[in-house]
Structure 1
């Protein structure tokens, strides 16, 4: 088989994958190494790191337990959560991204999979993080995505989602010179909170910070924390 045939085979979509899932996977497969290098110091800022630290404290105070970093990419957030004392594993669509995550975090577990169809039993997680990983999911699929997050969390479990705030998507075309293109959806925090509540979450906190223009950000960044209700007996 020629190298061209190898590349075509590696980019062939699974029959079970939705179109946007395939597009997202191919995009991140192509840019994995460049992306990991560009965002290597992403969590060094005090505000974003504090959001994750607050989440970790919530999980620990609630009794602790396993946490999933959903859409983990190269594993920066997974590693950071682990450093905060959480037993955590990562899930991502892109095998090249997962290869970087395993290389950088050899003591942690990383799995290939889609957030929309998690290979995780019902009500087994103490926490879940979607750190800028819902931004490629079309708005009409967000209810299904948040329902899946709700399914895998135990009662009292916490969810943290991060996303760009706004109304219009950002499209990246040929990033780092790679022949791929992808939309990065921006959302209104109040609309995302409503979707989380409709999926069964109690929204416990909302944080929005201004764009860091020195880092190339062009929109505000939003962070929502939700909790799966504990049944009243």
Structure 2
């Protein structure tokens, strides 16, 4: 992309402004989330066993989940739109690779990755732009590579914008998001939803474990 779309610039600027506080607030968030750790472990096992290349956490923020995946045995690196988030991640985890980049225009070769984690990182993408993200995910994944998006699940049967405090976000009906990924060439192999915990936003949390459909080339 030669010029960032307005929502990309807004998202980057908004996360730049809160990067240090965000990193502190969410540093240990996985400690009290056994279901989240379980689905990340399943993703790590599948992506690691496929032998299709490194794994990228796209929208990695301050790098805490990237580091968790490394601890699960993956060759992993992080990409984020916010330069301040990337600086924070590099300072906190100097042994890991982090790069500034946009998820819809990755500086990666076709089929380079064995897996992609998108942990609440497409939630700020307006619905009309999301198909381009899934198309880019498919492009950079190796045949049989795995994708795991984490997101907020809509209570109604429609995509719902909400105030995320950082910048506008969207909650998705899980079936609609699965269908969108399917249209982009992904096959669902599992899903998980959980209720919000104390202190979390009052929305269900969704995870979709997907595999690049090799039949589509």
TM-score normalised over the length of structure 2: 0.93
Q: Based on CA coordinates, which of the two structures has the bigger radius of gyration? A: 1
1:191 to 166, 176, 180: 176
- Counterpart CA distance in 2 for 1:62 and 1:198 is 23
Aligned residue-pair number: 212
2:45 to 51, 57, 72: 57
Note the C-alpha offset of 1:119: 0.5
Decide whether aligned partners of structure 1 residues 232 and 147 sit closer, same or farther in structure 2, where only a CA change above 3 A counts: closer
Note the C-alpha offset of 1:231: 4.0
1:146 to 117, 128, 134: 134
- Counterpart CA distance in 1 for 2:67 and 2:28 is 12
**Does the Cα contact within 8 Å between 1:98 and 1:112 map onto a contact in 2?**
yes
Q: Which runs of 5+ in 2 are unaligned?
A: none
Note the C-alpha offset of 1:172: 3.9
Structure 1 residues 71-80 or 35-44, which shifts more?
35-44
**Does the Cα contact within 8 Å between 1:208 and 1:223 map onto a contact in 2?**
yes
**Does the Cα contact within 8 Å between 2:61 and 2:80 map onto a contact in 1?**
yes
Aligned to 2:185: 200
**Does the Cα contact within 8 Å between 1:70 and 1:92 map onto a contact in 2?**
yes
SS of corresponding position for 2:117 = strand
Root mean square deviation, CA, Å:
1.7
Q: Which runs of 5+ in 1 are unaligned?
A: 1-13, 174-180
Aligned to 1:16: 3
Aligned to 2:57: 69
For residues 1-150 of structure 1, the aligned pairs below 5 Å read: 16-44=3-31, 45-63=33-51, 65-150=53-138
Decide whether aligned partners of structure 1 residues 73 and 232 sit closer, same or farther in structure 2, where only a CA change above 3 A counts: closer
Note the C-alpha offset of 1:15: 6.2
- Counterpart CA distance in 2 for 1:170 and 1:192 is 17
Note the C-alpha offset of 1:103: 1.3
Decide whether aligned partners of structure 1 residues 96 and 229 sit closer, same or farther in structure 2, where only a CA change above 3 A counts: same
- Counterpart CA distance in 2 for 1:73 and 1:149 is 18
- Counterpart CA distance in 2 for 1:64 and 1:42 is 29
- Counterpart CA distance in 1 for 2:6 and 2:27 is 29
Note the C-alpha offset of 1:118: 0.5
Structure 1 residues 189-198 or 57-66, which shifts more?
57-66
Decide whether aligned partners of structure 1 residues 135 and 172 sit closer, same or farther in structure 2, where only a CA change above 3 A counts: closer
**Does the Cα contact within 8 Å between 1:155 and 1:231 map onto a contact in 2?**
no
